[in-house]
Amino acid sequence: MILALELNNALLQEMITYVDQHVPLEACGLLAGKESRVEKIVGVLNQAQSPVRFVMDPYEQLHAFNWIESNGLDLVGIFHSHPTGPETVSATDIAEAAYAVVHVILSRSDNEWKARGFWIEDGSAHEVTLQIIE
Ligand SMILES: [Zn+2]
């Protein structure tokens, strides 16, 4: 478990732009980087095409993993959006979390996006600080 995930403001804005383009559907993707620092956002098709859940398209997800590996990076997080909230991970998110990485939730309220990070392990979630750097 890590306590903080670092990403720069440009990457945060890129992630927000990506999920905003998919409203009203949930959007998802991978965060690639090193240790606790995000260096690249990789969007993955939401196979569920749903406003309330996401399932990463397995083919695109495999492609994304290959890209991450061939660029010498690691999977440091997974992001997905909650276009109508909540800000936190849902019971489904906790039940379906397949990777021990930070789960970033981008939630929207009054057209404003907010990002929060969570570590999910053994059926529970703990908040992880998102350190936004310039
Ligand atoms: Zn969710």
Give me ligand 1 centre to Cα 105, in Å. Answer: 7
Q: Looking at the predicted structure, is the pLDDT value of residue 134 above 90?
A: no
Encode burial over 46-85: b for 16+ CB neighbours within 10 A, e otherwise: beeeeeebbbbbeebbeebeeebeeeebebbbbbbbbbee
User: How many whole angstroms from 121 Cα to the centroid of ligand 1?
Assistant: 15
CA of 69 to the centre of ligand 1 (A): 26
Q: How far does residue 56's CA lie from ligand 1's centre (Å)? A: 12
What is the C-alpha to C-alpha distance for residues 66 and 63, in angstroms, rounded to an integer?
Answer: 5
Assess contact for 108 and 77: CB atoms under 8 A.
no
The DSSP code sequence of 88-117 is S--HHHHHH--SSSEEEEEEEETTEEEEEE
Residue 13 backbone phi and psi in degrees, to 5: -65, -35
pLDDT band at 128 (very low <50, low <70, confident <90, very high): very high
**Are the C-beta atoms of residues 27 and 19 closer than 8 Å to each other?**
yes
Residue 99: the pLDDT is: 84
Cα 70 to middle of ligand 1, angstroms: 29
Q: pLDDT tens-digit profile of 40-78?
A: 999 999 999 999 999 999 999 999 999 999 999 999 999
What spacing in Å lies between the alpha carbon of 103 and ligand 1's midpoint? Answer: 9
If you measure from the C-alpha of residue 89 to the centroid of ligand 1, how many angstroms do you get, rounded to a whole number?
5
For the chain, report the end-to-end CA distance as a whole number of angstroms. 25
pTM for the predicted model, two decimal places: 0.95
